[in-house]
Structure 1
Amino acid sequence: MPTKSVTLDEVDEGLVHALQVDGRASFRLVGEVLGVSENTVARRYRRLRTAGLLRVAGTLDGAALGYSAWTIRLQCLPDAAAPIAGALAARPDTSYVYLLSGGTEISCSVRTRSAEESEALLLRTLPRTARITAVSAHLLLAGYALPDDWAGPARLTEDQVARLTPHHDATEPVTPGPADQVLLDRLAADGRTTHAELAAATGWSEPTVRRRLSGLRRSGLLRFLVDVPPHVLGFHAEARLWISAQPSKLDEVASALATHPEASLVALTTGPTNLLAAVNCRDSADLARYLTRRIGSLDAIRTLETAPVIRTLKRAGTVLPIESASAQYRPVTGVQR
C-alpha cells in the first residue's frame, strides 16, 4: 500500500528508535527521554501512524514455540507475480513478502508449525499454481541479525536506550494458550492497543491484562516490532542477498555481516547458498559501494546474488496461531487454482 510523503525530523526518528527499544513505552517516558512534551510525542506518533508510516506489531517468538522459519523464492510469469504476492501477503503464516527485480520473482518468509504444514505449503499448495514456474525453499537454521533489531539511523544514546529498556512487573513467565488468541490478535494489529481496549476485547479485567502481558514478555515469547518502511528513514535501495561462503568461514562471515549497519537480516540457510541477508542502503550508488567494499572485503564469500526489492507487500507479519502443533492445517487458498 502506498504511503504518504512525510519527512521525518530528529524528534520523529528519535520516536522510531524509542519504539524499537520498547514498542509499548509510554509517550510520557519517550518525551522525557527525547526532551520534548508528552503531547508532542503523541501528536508525532498519530501523524506517522495515520500516514501509514509507523506501526507497532505484537508477535510471538516462533522459534521458542517450535515453529520452523522458511524463506521462499518463487519465479512467476510476468503478469502473475503481483497477484500471487498479494495472495501470499494475505496468508497468516507469512511475515515478509517482496517483489524483486524484474517483477517476476517473489521472496517471502513463512513460519510452519509442523512437517505436515511445511509439506502442504511447499509440495502441494505452491506448485499447484500454474503461473508459478519455479519454487525454492530455504530453511532458516540460525539468525545472526534479525529485522526487529535493525534501528536504521539510530538516534538514541546508550543512556537513553537504558532508560527505555522495559523492566517488567515481577510476574511469573507464562506460556500462551488458546485463551490468549484474542489478546494476541489485537496486539498483532496494533501493539499499542491500550490495556482498557484489550480488557474490553478479552473480557478480562485491566489488572489481568497487565499481568498476562507482563508474563508473556518476561517469558521472551511476546515481542513488539516496529514496522516502518526503510525509505521513510532515508534508505531507498533495499536488496536481498543470497551468499555462498566457505563452510569453514561461515560463522565468521555471518558474524561480520551482522555488524554492518546496512544489514537488517543475516541468517544461515539450507540450499545451494548458505547465507541470506537483507540490506538497506541510501541509494543505488550506496548499494554498489556496499557490495564492492563491505561484501567484497570478505574473502570467504564464494558467490553472491543480489536482487533489489521493487515492492514490499508485507512486513512484520500477523501473530502466530497458538493452537497445538497437531491442529489441522487451514490453508488460505489465494495462491491456489
Structure 2
Amino acid sequence: MTQESFRSWGRDDLDELDLSLIHALQVAPRVPWTELGPVLGADPVTLARRWRRLVASGSAWTTCYPGPGRGSFDPGCLALVEVDAERGRVGEVARRLAEDAHAIAVEHLTGGRDLLVTVGAPDPATLTRYLQHRLSAAPGVTASRTHLVTRLYQEGSSWRLRSLDPGQRRSLVTAGDDAPRPRRVTDAERELVLALGLDARVPVADLARVLGVSAATAARRLAWLVSSGHARLRCEVAHSLSGWPVCATLWVSVPPGELEAVGGALAAHGDVRLCAAVTGTANLCVVTWLRSVGDVPVWEADLVRRFPGVAVLDRAVTLEVAKRMGRLLTSDGRAAGYVPLDIWADPVAVPESHALQGPSLGLGDEGLDE
C-alpha cells in the first residue's frame, strides 16, 4: 500500500452527526436513543435511522467480548503472535486464522513479520493448545513468535473519536457500581457475552428470549459482567473513516523499574489503542492510530523524548486488518462478517468456518424505526 493510498483515506462518508453518534456510543454503547437525542440535539428516530445505515454499510458497529485481565484473559492467557507465511500465501493464511474463535485480531503488518495475531484463551493450557495445534499447524504458516501479555494498560474499547464536547461526554457517563468481588464467569454468563458479540445493543427483552431467561435475570447478569470487567462493550468505526487511518505498532524496551509509569502514561494518550507489557526483548507493545504515515516517526520521536530511558526496537505499519475483535473486515476496514469470540471452546475442535455474515441491524432499547 502506497503512502498516497493512505492519504486518500478520509471521513467523506460520515458527517458530523454520524461522528458524534459513533463517539457517543463509544462512551455509552447501550444508551437508549431517547436519552441520546437531547445530548446530540437530534430526534431519537433520526439517530436510530442513522445507526441502521452505519451498521448496514459496515461503517460502524457495536460488540461485546470477554474482558481481558478480569478472569477471561488472565495474565499469560493473552498473546501477541508474529506469524510468517509462505510467499504469496499471506492473504490465505490471514483469512484462515481469522475464522478461529481464539484469534481475536489478525493484521497484515510491514517489517519482520507477515501477520500479527492477537490470541486469547481462558487458561495457559488452552492457549498452548491453540498455538501448537491450530495456529502453527495452519497451512501456509512457516514460523511464529509468541509474546505473552503480562499487563494490559490500555485496549481499544477506551479509544475515542473527538467529536463530542466535554459536557456531552459527561452527560453520557453514569456512575458505575463498585467492582463486585472477583469470581469466574458461569456458562450462562458466557452465553450472554457471546449473544451480544454481533450487536451489543440487543434489547434486554430480546436477549432474555434468546437465552431462555427472564428480562430481569438477563439485565442483572449483563450489569454484573460489565461492572466486574468480565465483559467489555465497544462501539467501533471503520478505520478508513475514523480520521486516524494509519495504525502503527511499536515494540519498546523500557527499564523494568519504569514500566508501570511509562505504560500508565501511554495508556492515557489519545492516540493509543493498545498498550501492553509483553514478554520478549521488547517489554512493551504500543499500538497507535495516526493521521498519516508521516506521523509515525514524529510519534516515535516524541515518545523517546518524553521518556529518555525508552528505546524503540522495532516499528511496523498495518497494511490491512482481516479481523478485529471478532469482526471480519474488508480492505478498508468495514465490517463484513463476525466470528464469535468463544475463547472457552476447544481450539482444535473449532469447525472449519463459523463466521456470521452480515451486520446486525438491531435498533437498541426502544426499537425506534422510521
- Name the TM-score, length of structure 1 as normaliser: 0.86
2:169 aligned to which of 161, 171, 177: 161
Residue of structure 2 equivalent to 1:122: 131
1:332 aligned to which of 325, 339, 350: 350
Residue of structure 2 equivalent to 1:185: 194
Q: Secondary structure, in 3 states, of the residue corresponding to 1:188?
A: coil
**How far off is 1:334 after superposition?**
5.8
Alpha carbons 1:142, 1:267 under 8 Å: kept: yes
Greater shift in the superposed pair: 280-289 or 297-306: 297-306
1:48 aligned to which of 38, 47, 54: 54
Q: CA–CA distance in 2 between the matches of 1:242 and 1:128?
A: 26
1:313 aligned to which of 318, 322, 340: 322
Q: Secondary structure, in 3 states, of the residue corresponding to 1:19?
A: helix
1:25 aligned to which of 14, 31, 41: 31
Residue of structure 1 equivalent to 2:213: 204
Q: Secondary structure, in 3 states, of the residue corresponding to 2:196?
A: helix
Alpha-carbon distance change, 167 to 130 in structure 1, aligned in 2, over 3 angstroms:
same
How many residues are matched?
328
**How far off is 1:122 after superposition?**
2.6
Residue of structure 2 equivalent to 1:244: 253
Alpha-carbon distance change, 281 to 80 in structure 1, aligned in 2, over 3 angstroms:
same
User: Is 1:58 aligned with 2:64?
Assistant: yes
Alpha-carbon distance change, 168 to 9 in structure 1, aligned in 2, over 3 angstroms:
same
Q: CA–CA distance in 2 between the matches of 1:198 and 1:180?
A: 12
**How far off is 1:102 after superposition?**
6.4
User: Is 1:35 aligned with 2:41?
Assistant: yes
Residues 273-292 of structure 1 correspond to what in structure 2 (within 5 A)? 273-292=282-301
The one-letter code of the counterpart of 2:325 is A
**How far off is 1:22 after superposition?**
1.4
Alpha carbons 2:84, 2:142 under 8 Å: kept: yes
**Which structure: greater helix fraction?**
1
**How far off is 1:272 after superposition?**
1.5
1:131 aligned to which of 127, 133, 140: 140
Q: For 1:225-269, what per-residue CA distance to the aligned partner results, in whole angstroms no more than 9, with x for missing partners?
A: 112222211112111111122333333332332233221111110
Greater shift in the superposed pair: 292-301 or 222-231: 292-301
- For structure 2, the residue ranges without an aligned partner over 5 or more in a row are 1-8, 327-338, 354-370
User: Is 1:266 aligned with 2:275?
Assistant: yes
Q: CA–CA distance in 1 between the matches of 2:274 and 2:251?
A: 12
Q: CA–CA distance in 1 between the matches of 2:177 and 2:253?
A: 45
The one-letter code of the counterpart of 2:157 is D
The one-letter code of the counterpart of 1:21 is V
Alpha carbons 1:54, 1:227 under 8 Å: kept: yes
Alpha carbons 1:61, 1:221 under 8 Å: kept: yes
Residue of structure 1 equivalent to 2:335: none
**How far off is 1:5 after superposition?**
8.1
Q: CA–CA distance in 1 between the matches of 2:154 and 2:177?
A: 28
Alpha carbons 1:175, 1:216 under 8 Å: kept: no
Residues 298-309 of structure 1 correspond to what in structure 2 (within 5 A)? 298-309=307-318
Q: CA–CA distance in 2 between the matches of 1:128 and 1:104?
A: 17
2:151 aligned to which of 142, 148, 151: 142
Q: CA–CA distance in 2 between the matches of 1:84 and 1:20?
A: 31
Q: CA RMSD, aligned part only?
A: 2.9
User: Is 1:232 aligned with 2:241?
Assistant: yes
Alpha carbons 1:178, 1:322 under 8 Å: kept: no
The one-letter code of the counterpart of 2:142 is T
Alpha carbons 1:181, 1:322 under 8 Å: kept: no
Q: CA–CA distance in 2 between the matches of 1:75 and 1:217?
A: 36
Q: Secondary structure, in 3 states, of the residue corresponding to 2:248?
A: strand
**How far off is 1:117 after superposition?**
1.5
**How far off is 1:298 after superposition?**
2.9
- For structure 1, the residue ranges without an aligned partner over 5 or more in a row are none
Alpha carbons 1:237, 1:284 under 8 Å: kept: yes
Alpha carbons 1:72, 1:137 under 8 Å: kept: yes
**How far off is 1:321 after superposition?**
4.0
Q: For 1:64-111, what per-residue CA distance to the aligned partner results, in whole angstroms no more than 9, with x for missing partners?
A: 225311111111122221111112211111222101126961001111
1:89 aligned to which of 90, 98, 102: 98
Q: CA–CA distance in 1 between the matches of 2:216 and 2:14?
A: 36
Q: Percent identity?
A: 28
Alpha carbons 1:145, 1:265 under 8 Å: kept: yes
Q: CA–CA distance in 1 between the matches of 2:58 and 2:10?
A: 7
Q: CA–CA distance in 2 between the matches of 1:179 and 1:330?
A: 23
